[in-house]
Structure 1
């Protein structure tokens, strides 16, 4: 497998994940998780879609790691712009100042891993709830074959099978709340509860000395409220 594109510092898309250990294989160390029995089928990550709300201190890191891991699709929501004040903790560069965070993030993430499909929405989910909800219930990737998803999607009970079956449209697999305000968290909670989609709430204190992560599974675990 030759992942180079002929242009220094740029790689072309890789059609299929390989476990072959080579310096030019960005997935070899990740595929080792399957070889060690940590996961049953690492390739199934290419059929996963994660929606990230907030591309700031938490969301940019989460998006970065998901892209490097080879997740199939990322849907990004944020309405802020890149500023020089962000340079101490985010993956943006000074030349991206003034751009919307989601578009700047999309460009950066595609440079890191062009295999990932990235959808960017420069809007406030509280005022654009219909769009936000639509992307949760319809933005996911189509179900793969049973062999591709064995040990992955089938490991846990389906959160909302009716949505996955309706007109061939699929909900996202996970929503990550990486926001810094209560109103947005309530909006995410409302949307995910209505859609029956798993989501995780996260936050870091202003002093950066503490944080919180809460997993919310509608109908199974306590909701955010």
Structure 2
């Protein structure tokens, strides 16, 4: 059994205590440390080398967004899951654009938070298609015009097949669903996704989805 090294970052000690109780019972999760703000989080990651950081987004001092950006820009970054009380707000979107693998609400049932940590540790995003669509709808009202031209210029480096895969990722489709829809093997889909990430300088599927949305690819393809 591979043990997932998890760090908890929240300015509320009661929240951290609750998360410790909630997650400490999972045999495959080891809580390697806690931090009360983003600056402490960076020190904690230096010391404990967690696989996953559960990060509160609103904290005094260095907030969770800034800490996420700093952690994800490292040479060997931990995965970051954002903790929030809101489904879709600008802070969450910015954290996802910075490389967070997803977010969970603070009132999420314990079993779902455990599952989210496991999925992220395995390299999978924790955004369901429904949540992805909700985020996209929110993004539509948040200064999209400036991002549209930039996103289109970045997407232009992809070939037609890669663009098709990017659209499917933007819809929240799994690799198996993409394979069935585009008549290719799951291994080929994985290869395309890896190539898209490399060519666009991105580090997870959530960022592909947001860029595809910003570029208008989902609208052009009937979504």
TM-score w.r.t. length of structure 1: 0.34
Structure with greater contact order relative to length (CA < 8 Å, sep ≥ 6): 1
Structure richer in helix, relative to its length: 2
